Amino acid sequence: MPDLINQIIFLFQRLDWLGLLDILLVTLIFVVILMSIRETQAVLLMRGVVLYIIFFSLLTSLLNLPAFSWLIRTSLPVLLLSVPVIFAPEIRRALERLGRASSGPIFWRQNTASMDVMQATIHAVVSAVARLSARQHGALIVLQRRDSLEEYIRTGVKINACVTPELILQVFYPNTPLHDGAAIIVDDRLTSAACVLPLSASGILNRSPERQMGLRHRAALGVSEVSDAIAVVVSEETGSVSIAHGGRIIRRLDSDRLENVLLAFYRPSEIRTSWLSLFNRTSRKSENKSKPEE
């Protein structure tokens, strides 16, 4: 133990501004990694790995255990090499976020539809959702924004028709061939229906009553985690309306609030920013107050 303390004191004595910069860069890398896996099941795994390294490092430094120290030294590289395999989904999501953040406004995909057209599309979606909710017909509607959803569009049945309330009601009528899965809207066109979406890997579902939600809600959260799309869900059991974006979900929305939130995503940036901050605050409250429903 005294040797360890002496080594720590020696390191601090040799610390200069370049060494401090080195430590800050390493810290920044770990912060980015922890932020990337935040609210995922990988947090528990990462916690176990860190505790494993700390515990056995202290044990081998305080006690003279040659055989045990050799075992730890040989197994640690294997553990580090397995990290990319274990954390593959989290690494992929982090790289996707980095690609979206670094693309810059010049390279962003812009909606080809005008604001008037998008308002008409959103009004049609809200009108259909209100009627689906009153009838308790389950539905999952995804509105594409900048990130392409082509890989999910290909999993469904191509429609490529103008968005109308009647079309959406027909798609999600119970026991019809297209009612299972998601309907994806690109600009003012309902591009595809019965699409398969990725399920959420968020740890939020495991720590709150959200874990008892059905597959529609999990798929809505899932597509919002891997893209900037907006997902609208109608519960088949209660008729409750929810909206998911950025890995967060707001539940029990009425028609007016739903339309205001959807329109906010297509408004000018300064208005959209205020709405998005409100969305995040409301979604956190919704997570705390939500009840099992589907």
Per-residue pLDDT at 77: 76
All structural domains of the chain: 2-105 (no CATH), 115-289 (3.40.1700.10)
Question: From CA 74, how far away is CA 212, in angstroms rounded?
Answer: 43
pLDDT in tens, 136-190: 999 999 999 888 888 899 999 999 999 999 999 999 999 888 988 999 999 889 9
CA-based nearest residue to 162, from 186, 183, 189, 182: 189
Residue the block writes with tokens 């899932």? 222
- CA-wise closest residue to 23 among 12, 36, 37, 7: 12
Name the more confident of 44 and 121: 121
Phi, psi of 141, rounded to the nearest 5 degrees: -120, 125
- How far does the chain reach from its first CA to its final CA, in angstroms? 56
E strands, the chain, in order = 139-143, 157-162, 182-186, 189-195, 230-234, 241-245, 248-250
DSSP class of 293: -
**pLDDT of 44-99, one tens digit each?**
667 777 777 777 777 777 777 788 778 777 777 777 777 677 666 666 666 666 66
